[in-house]
Amino acid sequence: MSHFAHAAARRLGQCLCVLTLAAGGAAASPHERDDDDEKARMPAAPKAMSYEFADFALEGQALGATPGGAQDIAFARDEIARGGVPHARTFTPEGLFSEHDLPLETGRPCTQLLCLTAAAAPVELGAQAEARTLAQLGFASNLDAATWHRDPLNLVAVVDKSGSMSGAPLETVKASLHVVADLLGPADQLTVVLYGDRVHVHVPTMQIGTGAGNKRSLHAAIDTITSEGSTDMESGLRMGFDVARQTASRFGGRTRVMLFTDERPNVGDTSARGFMGMVREASRGGVGLTTVGVGTQFGAELATAISSVRGGNLFFFPNAATMEKKFREDLDTMVTELAHDLKLTVRATHGHALVGLYGIPGEAVRRLPDGGLEMDVETIFLSRDKGGIFFAFAPEGAGALPPVPGPVGEATVSYRDLMGRAFTDRLSFDLWPAGAPLPLGLARGRLLVDEVTTLKAATAAHLEKNDQETAWRLVRAAKMRFVQSGVPGLEKEVELLTRLDETLTKLSGHAGEPVSLRPRNPLTGLPD
């Protein structure tokens, strides 16, 4: 029995948390409908489901960790909420995972700054039928959330104030800058660079200090930002990085540039003076970049490009309230890098084949001759939630083969901490003991991988093949699996799938007639 099998068995009779998820109740969107069409085509949801899991997450208060790249799928959520169907390239698995806590407690001691765990469980994916097992590589830290404090922050905010930012986008950015100013501590400092009609330093580098005067003047300066001019993002970013380098040399903490814009940077320009060239040069000098998108399409292509550079992450905010909430809750972790240059090799064991990878940002993934994968993750960020990367395995050979006993795969990991010290680790993806409650992260992960693969397949069917029927069936089935699962903490995913199901129901012609208040006999047409 593996180390986490012992842990699971030991706790099985102890702390079991039972949560009830009523179908059509708290977990279901108010838009949920029980029309005749749904009854005829889909299995009915049970009246109530319960899910038991070993609530290991409550045992400690350690901070988590998550790979860089996109830190949300807010753009896709906004598009779906407005009745649209987002393109598959506007969201990423790691963006979805970053919105959830995925604790994977296996009983393995956490003795390093970056703590890794691994486990596997059977899975059924609606859009990837060959997958039989899902494995999670879990990320956490040994930092105590109650006592940890981030390093002093030298923040350079680079703000797009061009004409396209007029109105809600710029007001959203200004509101967030006010929140950031409030959250900065005495040892922090802030510079504000604007670009639009011209590129200039709007707020010279200011140490916050202990008095109230600096913050008052900072808030007043933020209020004076107005929109005008064309967009020259690269010039604005160049000045921002120049200021960051100059101020970093005299600063005793971490330096970071935060770019606020409604435009998609030209990530295709990798020259020394282009967007990616400047980002890479700055990252080599220890200056990371957080890109904050407002009011525009910030999708997976941009997230992939940014996450291919050390210290890069990206957020999209559809409105001021969402942005302010995120900064208030997570500013400290969203600007804190935990580890760099993580190199990961995963191989399937005999009898298994590696058929899926979800949650690796960037494009640095290579197939090995033996079917394994080599991957690079430039940055691991500190997080309030635990993160993870997931791998799907199928039986090797004929698809109906029974599972082979033992681990489905192995992972070899190396990374460096912020001091440049090298660490290595080796983990096996052992199957979680049958009958033992799954760790919450693996239980959630099975559904989230199902969701993101279903969304990719459904949006591709809708937008690329004009196949509304397939798109509708995929989303409707995924929604039912979520509702029936009873896994807690996924209510917003039920809401998303329900809203997208409503849109595709109409587009595919399955909307049906409104439900009558006086049911009629379907054969005679007479009231019952």
- pLDDT per residue as tens digits for the range 295-336: 665 555 665 677 678 898 888 888 888 889 999 999 999 999
Percent of the chain's residues with pLDDT above 70: 80
- The share of the chain scoring above pLDDT 90, in percent, equals 56
Q: Who contacts 448 (Cβ-Cβ below 8 Å, separation ≥6)?
A: 93, 96, 97, 100, 490, 493
Count of residues for the chain? 528
Quick one: which of 495, 502, 457, 453 has its CA closest to 476?
502
pLDDT surpasses 90 at 194:
yes
Instruction: Count CA within 13 A, CB hemisphere, residue 447.
Output: 26
* H-type alpha helices, 298-436: 300-307, 320-334
What are the DSSP calls for 371-394, one per residue? S-EEEEEEEEEEESS-EEEEEEEE
Q: Among 108-122, 212-226, 510-524, which stretch is predicted with the lowest mean pLDDT?
A: 510-524
Return residue ranges of the chain for CATH 2.60.40.1170.
Answer: 3-61+83-89+97-146+339-507
Which pLDDT does position 277 carry in this prediction?
Answer: 85
How many angstroms separate the CA atoms of 140 and 159, rounded? 33
Residue 111 has pLDDT above 90, yes or no: no
The two structure tokens encoding residue 385: 């939630």
Phi, then psi, of 492 in degrees rounded to 5:
-70, -20
pLDDT digits 0-9 by tens, 416-429: 998 899 999 999 99
**Could you tell me the pLDDT band of residue 183, with boundaries at 50, 70 and 90?**
very high
Per-residue pLDDT for 72 more than 90? no
Rounded mean pLDDT, 140-167: 92
Q: Which CATH architecture has domain 153-335?
A: 3-Layer(aba) Sandwich (3.40)
Among the residues of 72-122, which ranges form H helices?
A: 74-81, 93-97
Q: Which CATH superfamily is domain 3-61+83-89+97-146+339-507 in?
A: Mu homology domain, subdomain B (2.60.40.1170)
pLDDT at 47: 34
User: Is the per-residue pLDDT at 58 higher than 50?
Assistant: no
Mean pLDDT of 69-81: 87
Element (H, E) at 70: strand 69-70
Rounded to an integer, the average pLDDT of 201-207 is 94
Say how far apart CA 4 and CA 7 lie, in whole Å.
5
pLDDT at 33: 36
Mean pLDDT of the region 187-208? 93
User: In the predicted model, is pLDDT for residue 201 greater than 90?
Assistant: yes
Start and end residues for every CATH 3.40.50.410 domain found in the chain: 153-335
Which of helix, strand or coil describes residue 82?
coil
DSSP 401: P
Integer Cα distance of 46 and 23 in angstroms: 6
Mean pLDDT of the 75-82 span:
91
Q: How high is the pLDDT of residue 271? A: 59
At 11, the pLDDT band (50, 70, 90 cuts) reads very low
The mean of the pLDDT values for the chain is 83
* Helix, strand, coil % in the chain, rounded to nearest 5: 35, 30, 40
Of 8-22, 200-214, 267-281, 309-323, which range is least confident?
Answer: 8-22
- The residue with greater pLDDT, 252 or 24, is 252
| pLDDT confidence tier of residue 269, bands split at 50, 70 and 90 | low
